[in-house]
Amino acid sequence: MQKSDGQYNFTDGSIKIKIMTENFEVGEVSNEVNWPLFTRFLVFFVVSGSLFLIFLWVVFLKSVSVDAMLKPSVIATDGDFEVGDYAVDNDYEVYFDGIDLMRFTAGSEFSIEDVSEDQGFYTVSIILENGGVWVANMGGVLDVKIKSDDFMFQNVDGYYYVEKDDSKVFAYAYKHPCEVHFLGDSDNSLNSYLLPEGYYVDFSIGAVADVIADLRYAKLVKDYPFYAISNNEERDFIEEFAESDDDRYRKILSDFENLVIENYGSYDSEGLSAKIESGIDFLRDKLTFSKTKKVENVEQDTLKSLNLALYLSVQGQGEQAIVVLTEIEQGSVDSDQYVSYLNYLNVVLNNSVYGDDLYPVKNYLRELLYSVGVEDGIIVLRERLNEIYDLVNSGEVALAKSAFSDYERGWWDFLGMSSDELSVYRKDISEERELLSVLLLGTEGFYSADYFGLLESFEDAIFKVAVSGTDLDEERQSFVSSKVKALNKIESLVAGGDLSIDAATDLMIMLLESADVLMGEIESEAAVLTYYQSEIDHSWIVVQFINSVEYSSLSGSFDEKLEAYMQKEQDIEELKSYLQGLHLGADSASELTLDEAKSIVEDDLDGVSISYDSVSSVGDSAYRLFTIDGASLGGVDFEAKYDRESRLIYDLVVGEVRFTTGVRLEDLEDVVAGLESGGGEEEVGEVEEVGEVDERSFTYSEQVAIGLLQDYLAEYGIAISESNIVDVDVENDVFTLENVEIGDGLVDFVIYLESGLVSGVEGVETVEELVNIRQ
């Protein structure tokens, strides 16, 4: 090409371009390719383009796929389910999202007042006019209110049944508690309580009075009681309903586990894939500048970790799943798009219980959804208790006891609030105490002071938040009643060999001491208190009995041995009165001569094969009490005294072991044999006069004498216990005491009870002088 007259001329062959400007030669371009430059340009283009695409992906496009969520649908037996009146001839079922349902029995008549749906969750209000309705909402997508006459029933999740006829309204909480509301004229709730699982109510129509609004929990439950279900009250079809619904909920959970196995494996990346994923996340964090997008990234990371935990859980890698969950920032998912997914997970996992593969994820998710305030905390704790019920019902008592630890820990934190803070939740505490009481009383594996201790804490909290001046007799009577039931159950468990003596003793002492305090604080004179007191007294005897040498060494059934022990205790009380009379100088002549009385004693001892050197009267005029010298039975030597009238061996000493109570003559051989074989040597720290004690303990005669001394000193305002007594001389009524608190100091002295004289304190000869000089 050549320029001529302002034009370029092209010629064949090599193209040469010469550009001239004002006769200045600028340059020349050849058609030969500069490959190094081209390569660098191409690499730059590819890399920058790739980075730009990654930038777009990680900042704007990358998200967690969420295709599992609630799919709203209501399927009724005959089609639509909407506001209106219904009368059904056959069983009528209404499914909500294929998860929860209502099942009306044949012949039922009802009205639908409202049906509403929000993101797959339903609220339904019905009026039951006649017949029955079963609610199964373990998925948690259905919240139904059933009104019938002056009552309304509602639960959070579980199974319950309501039935109405011409005169009665019946409701039964089959699985998890059901709330019972007492309605006023305008259908407003005047008061309410929780119906525990396994219990029912049977109300007469028109039974609700306006005064019910003022009743506290204990009084409300007393006036409108609920009862443990019996075969006579449980409807035949309920078990069939429950089994059908259990199968459906198990399938829902199983199907979800399969979905996780099939679709969530990609979240468990390893090796190169994991490194690439980590690198992409790093780039995303560095290249994201939008605050909103950063929040979404955190949500995506949370869901990725959650899905990874789900996958690890169903693969049996529970410990690794927990590690992943602990690294998640709680409360980091707020977007509606992701909340719907969390709601779906919450519904599906609602049937998972402690010990299941997916339970750690459920537990985390629950904390994520309910982490706002105290009310949410109560919801979580109530769910934990329901899960413990579920485990017990499935026979997993060991797991239930493990799950109890988390439940208990949550309540310790809650009950640690101030009185003012706790007072807001007075009713919640009362209801929780009742639900826990039902669980503990009905489950043999929970009969331990470790579990009943939380029940005692609930009771303390109820009194702690009581309004000043409030009459709490109803609460105290209710608590005593539950303790009496527990005590009777413990006795039956011990009798059947289903509870150890140590566990029974610890729990019974805790319950009895609490019951004694409550009984002392009750001001009313209700007739039932006499019954409670007799049961408490009986249980104290049972504690002593199961820790006695007779229990561990005698043959016969529990009831037979207990009856013999109780008869012995009556004889001991009579002997105690006789011994006290002797100390006080009261004595009566015997119709027998000393030789005649002695002959009877020798015959008694010979009759049970006791060998002895001699028997001699202790000196009472009635010739009733005798000392046995050089006694031996079955090759075992012992020291003892004998009461001819009650046939009791007392002040028994075998080797280094002293018995603090009497033994029936007929039982002595078994007792001694049991002692020699190592049985019957359990000690009960807080139970007085139980079993045998060490060499520093006091014989029965000494205890009687000490009791008289305590009464005598109490008249001078001096209180002593057995720990203050160094030595007792029963025959001469001489007692050596130490560290006795008198006035502002501690005093050691010797007292001669018969004369009231004192020695060992300089310048003091009588108890009266001792008291005056120390003031």
Under the banding of pLDDT at 50, 70 and 90, the label for residue 545 is: very high
DSSP conformational letter for 105: P
> pLDDT value at position 675?
67
Domain boundaries, the chain: 1-62, 74-229, 246-369, 550-697, 702-773
Helices (H), 371-527: 374-393, 397-415, 419-423, 426-442, 449-464, 473-495, 501-521
| pLDDT on residue 61 | 41
Region 708-714: mean pLDDT is 90
Q: Nearest to residue 614, comparing CAs of 590, 587, 642, 635?
A: 642
How is residue 563 written in tokens? Answer: 């009856």
Q: Which of 255-259, 381-385, 428-432 has the lowest mean pLDDT?
A: 255-259
Q: What is the mean pLDDT of residues 438-462?
A: 95
Any residues with CB less than 8 A from the CB of 39 and at least 6 apart, and which? none
Summarize pLDDT for 260-288 with one digit per residue, the tens.
888 888 777 554 444 445 555 555 555 45
Mean pLDDT of the region 479-501: 96
Name beta bridge partners: 24: 21
Mean pLDDT (the chain, rounded)? 83
pLDDT at 182 exceeding the cut of 90: yes
Band of the pLDDT at 694, cuts 50, 70, 90? very low
- Please state which of the ranges 630-634, 660-664, 668-672, 678-682 shows the lowest mean pLDDT: 678-682
Residue pair 129/109 in contact by the 8 Å Cβ criterion: yes
Q: How much of the chain exceeds pLDDT 70, in percent?
A: 81
Q: Is the pLDDT of residue 68 over 60?
A: no
Residue 682: what pLDDT? 38
Report the alpha-carbon distance of residue 578 to residue 584 in Å, rounded. 10
What pLDDT is stored for residue 737 in this prediction? 92
Q: What is the pLDDT of residue 430?
A: 94
10-14, 246-250, 523-527, 732-736: segment of lowest average pLDDT: 10-14
Whether the pLDDT of residue 25 is over 60: the answer is: no
Quick: pLDDT tens for 231-246.
888 888 999 999 999 9
pLDDT tens, position by position, 558-576: 999 999 889 888 888 888 8
Choose which CATH entry (2.60.120.1440, 3.50.50.60, 3.40.50.360, 3.30.70.520) describes domain 74-229: 2.60.120.1440
Range with the poorest average pLDDT among 47-51, 138-142, 727-731? 47-51
User: In which band, very low, low, confident or very high, does the pLDDT at 335 lie, cut at 50, 70 and 90?
Assistant: low
- Going edge to edge, which strands form the sheet with 725-729? 725-729, 734-742, 745-752, 757-759
52-56, 215-219, 655-659: which range is least confident on average? 52-56
| pLDDT for 591 beyond 70 | yes
Reply yes or no on whether the pLDDT at 136 is more than 50. Answer: yes
pLDDT, residue 465, reads 87
Using a cut of 0.85, tell me whether the model's pTM lies above it.
no
Q: What per-residue confidence (pLDDT) applies to 444?
A: 92
d(CA 582, CA 563): 29
Q: What is the largest CA-CA distance in the chain?
A: 171
- pLDDT surpasses 50 at 687: no
pLDDT at position 118 is 86
Integer Cα distance of 205 and 185 in angstroms: 14
* DSSP state, residue 766: B
Per the model's pLDDT, the better-predicted residue between 41 and 719 turns out to be 719
Residue 765 CA to its chain's centroid (Å): 59
